Amino acid sequence: MKGKYLKYVLHVIVLTGLLIAAVKYIHGEEVLRALKSYNYAYAPALLTLPAIYLSMKAWRFILLMRPVSDAPGNVLFRGYVAGTAATLVPGGVAVRAGLMNQAGISLAKSGVPVALSSILDQVVFIATALLSAFWFESARVPALILLGILVVFLILFLFPTSRHFLERIAVAIAKRFHYADQWQNLLRSGREVMNTRTILIALAITVAAFLVEVFVLDLSLRGFGFNVPYATLFFAYILPQMLGRLSALPAGVGVTEASMVGFLSSSAGIDPDTALAAAAIFRISTAFFQAFLGALVYFFAWRGEKEKITQANS
């Protein structure tokens, strides 16, 4: 019965994420104008690169799962991609742990890899945001906010007293809800996953995946006749994404686009209307298209509880 309820909850969250993407990214006059004026000679690459980006993120997830699970790579790959639309819903990243549970992989094993997949993204964003603050005054306030958050976490985990205090709180909460054994298993899995080699490779994949999205932004602008230097494109991608994540809105909707338009207008000399059209094309080909691909995998290639049966028979 629990598995049945989980299935329907996952259905609702995935559909909600896809709906959020559709309403935001394929609705509105600016999107229609962008679609009418874009040079579709770039369209094949514009759709291929986001699929490559998603595949790289799935590959990273497989790498993080390997120390704790010998599940077939295609199950882990499909499970990761299937949860993409759900990440547009606040807290939706946890859906991937639910999908792994359907495949017979407990939260104690999948929890750390799922969390690390998101944490590694934040680490790269924070590092590049701090780097950008040296060149762009407008990036200094957000960078200082991120640095402040990072310092707080470092203080909490660096000193044994504060670290042990947090551990005691976590253990008390786990015992209160009768999850003490699962919590210990989660910590054990974390120690297995977080080895130097695995983390360094995962970080390299993260950086490479972000560079793929910089190429997507490049093609979004080339379709309107603009050839912008890659250094500018890199920061035009990183800074708006960073501000969008600080906003706490699903996928940074609204904030990311406005920031990208402002940056491209001020730093690349692109008129606001064209910058808005390019931002719309970029977000359609990344956020919406990736959510759409994830929903396709979820509804047509993910077998739910049958994934567990398939593994048992393999």
What's the pLDDT tens digit per position in 81-132?
999 988 878 777 888 989 999 999 988 888 889 988 988 888 887 777 777 7
Alpha helices in the chain (DSSP H): 2-25, 29-37, 43-65, 73-82, 95-102, 107-132, 140-158, 160-176, 180-193, 196-222, 230-246, 255-267, 272-283, 289-300, 306-313
Query: In 208-218, which positions are buried (b, 16+ CB within 10 angstroms) versus exposed (e)?
Result: ebbebbbbbbb
What is the rounded distance in angstroms from the CA atom of residue 92 to the CA atom of residue 156?
26
Rounded mean pLDDT, 185-212: 86
**pTM, two decimal places:** 0.83
How would residue 314 be classed by pLDDT, with cut points 50, 70 and 90? low
Percent of the chain with pLDDT over 70: 70
Measure CA 121 to chain center.
7
Which has the higher per-residue pLDDT, 67 or 174? 67
pLDDT tens by residue, 45-66: 999 999 999 999 999 999 999 9
Question: Which range is least confidently modeled, 239-243, 291-295, 301-305, 308-312?
Answer: 308-312
Res. 1: pLDDT tops 50 = no
What is the rounded distance in angstroms from the CA atom of residue 74 to the CA atom of residue 84?
16
Domain-by-domain residue ranges, the chain? 2-23+53-313
Contact 65, 104 (CB under 8 A): no
Res. 153: pLDDT tops 70 = no
Res. 174: pLDDT tops 90 = no
Encoding tokens for residue 287? 């956020």
Give the per-residue pLDDT at 206: 94
How would residue 296 be classed by pLDDT, with cut points 50, 70 and 90? very high
Which has the higher per-residue pLDDT, 169 or 111? 111
Rounded mean pLDDT, 257-264: 80
Give the per-residue pLDDT at 158: 60
